[in-house]
Amino acid sequence: MSVITTSIETLHLKSTLRLLPRAVYRSQRIQVFPPNTFSSSSLSSPLRIDPISQGIGSRNLWRRYASDKFSEMGLDPGADSSKVIVKASIVDTMKKANSILPHVVLASTILALIYPPSFTWFTSRYFVPALGFLMFAVGINSNEKDFLEAFKRPKAILLGYVGQYLVKPILGFIFGLAAVSVFQLPTPIGAGIMLVSCVSGAQLSNYATFLTDPALAPLSIVMTSLSTATAVLVTPMLSLLLIGKKLPVDVKGMISSILQVVIAPIAAGLLLNKMFPKVSNAIRPFLPILSVLDTACCVGAPLALNINSVMSPFGATILLLVTMFHLSAFLAGYFLTGSVFRNAPDAKAMQRTLSYETGMQSSLLALALATKFFQDPLVGIPPAVSTVVMSLMGFTLVMIWSNEKEKNI
């Protein structure tokens, strides 16, 4: 029996068959039309397609074509249509998990305030592995060429370093001084704010850049790694200058932290991506949802572990000061970059990247230093609050800027 189709139906025939299970197209043969079949005159009348017997060559050709297309979608060509749809929806959901990150961060903050035991199990010994996992997620989605390209932008790297260790400490000194002289808060609170401004960039800024502008994630990693590596010398000097007290730093511990949090996981992701691409492709869809859960723990735990200090009588004032400090840093990084790279083809992406780099600090490191090297526990309150505020503000910007990029596409 012959089947009559219109020209439009014929043009959609391939796309329809492409979604059918193998059992259906196994008995089909691709009809090869002669050169002038689809001429302007022929489009005015319907086309006739007759089923013909199986041909080994065309059947294998069609099977390879369909298999390749299914593989590109991450699907199993032999699965039935219902399983294909379910599997595709699950993969898409996992890939879109990053879009709910700001909401998850906010929820973990509220949960940590209402019920601290929900995060107190996530002690400080888990901070390094948790941040390392986020870096592994960035590494597995990058390649070594990206990092080589990043070093070709020394001007951007220098500007990021200036934002980290010049602009940010100046802002920290201003708000730390205001905490003591204007708001009459205890001196250790002001010292805590200044300490936050003296530490290196946060690894979460690399992840935020990856979510917004993946092509610039290696550049962000280079800037953060440089500020982290030199923090061994720069952080004590700035602390001595701003706080007025020498801050000893465990050099071996800092080097170990750099290796564990930045270099090792990034290298592992890059090597896995290059040497075992099939394994990388298999685990890549699961990384967004795991990274969201990881980030939620990194935000909620410091708040829950320091809940008594955060809920102290002057907690609201500290929250205001820390929020204004981070907001000023985000804005300074954004507009400073805009003035320097205003003629660059990726000026907006650079502004977002440098804004993350300037506005997001390694508050966990500041909290660890405050706990280890300062006797007064009040010094640790601003870093604990900063961990939450920095994450909320940073990933809110991720959501806003990502939506703007989608609208402009």
Q: Per the structure block, which two tokens stand in for 284?
A: 């890549």
pLDDT of the residue at 146: 66
What letter would DSSP give residue 201? B
3-state SS class at 47: strand
Q: Per the structure block, which two tokens stand in for 340?
A: 């320097």
pLDDT of the residue at 23: 43
Q: What is the pLDDT of residues 327-353, one digit of tens each?
A: 999 999 999 999 998 888 888 999 999
Which pTM value belongs to this model? Answer: 0.66
What's the CA gap between 92 and 201, in Å, rounded? 32
Q: Per the structure block, which two tokens stand in for 399?
A: 């959501």
What's the CA gap between 333 and 350, in Å, rounded? 10
State the burial class of residue 95 (Cβ atoms within 10 Å of its Cβ: 0-12, 13-18, 19+): middle
State the burial class of residue 266 (Cβ atoms within 10 Å of its Cβ: 0-12, 13-18, 19+): buried
pLDDT of the residue at 126: 83
Instruction: Categorize the per-residue pLDDT at 92 as very low, low, confident or very high, splitting at 50, 70 and 90.
Output: low
pLDDT of the residue at 258: 59
Q: What is the pLDDT of residues 316-326, one digit of tens each?
A: 899 999 999 99
Q: Are strands 3-5 and 47-49 parallel, antiparallel or unpaired?
A: antiparallel
CA 188 from chain centre, in angstroms, equals 33
Instruction: Categorize the per-residue pLDDT at 91 as very low, low, confident or very high, splitting at 50, 70 and 90.
Output: very low
pLDDT of the residue at 95: 52
Can you list the alpha helix ranges (DSSP code H) found in 121-250? 127-140, 144-150, 154-162, 168-181, 187-198, 203-212, 217-243
Higher pLDDT, 156 or 9: 156
Helix or strand run (H / E) with residue 3: strand 3-5
| Residue type for position 27 | S
Q: How far is CA 353 from CA 288, 331, 340, 387, 404, in A?
A: 20, 12, 14, 19, 15
What's the CA gap between 251 and 234, in Å, rounded? 12
- State the first-to-last Cα distance of the chain, in angstroms, to the nearest integer: 47
Percentage of the chain surpassing pLDDT 90?
Answer: 19
pLDDT of the residue at 12: 44
pLDDT average, residue stretch 357-364: 87
Residues 108, 296 contacting (CB under 8 angstroms)? yes
**Angle subtended at Cα 36 by Cα 17 and Cα 39, rounded to the nearest 5 degrees:** 85
What's the CA gap between 78 and 71, in Å, rounded? 11
Instruction: Categorize the per-residue pLDDT at 292 as very low, low, confident or very high, splitting at 50, 70 and 90.
Output: confident
Percentage of the chain surpassing pLDDT 70?
Answer: 69
Higher pLDDT, 240 or 87: 240
pLDDT of the residue at 32: 44
pLDDT of the residue at 72: 46
What is the dihedral sign for C-alpha 36, 39, 44, 50? positive
What's the CA gap between 309 and 116, in Å, rounded? 13
pLDDT of the residue at 273: 85
pLDDT for residue 262 is more than 60: yes
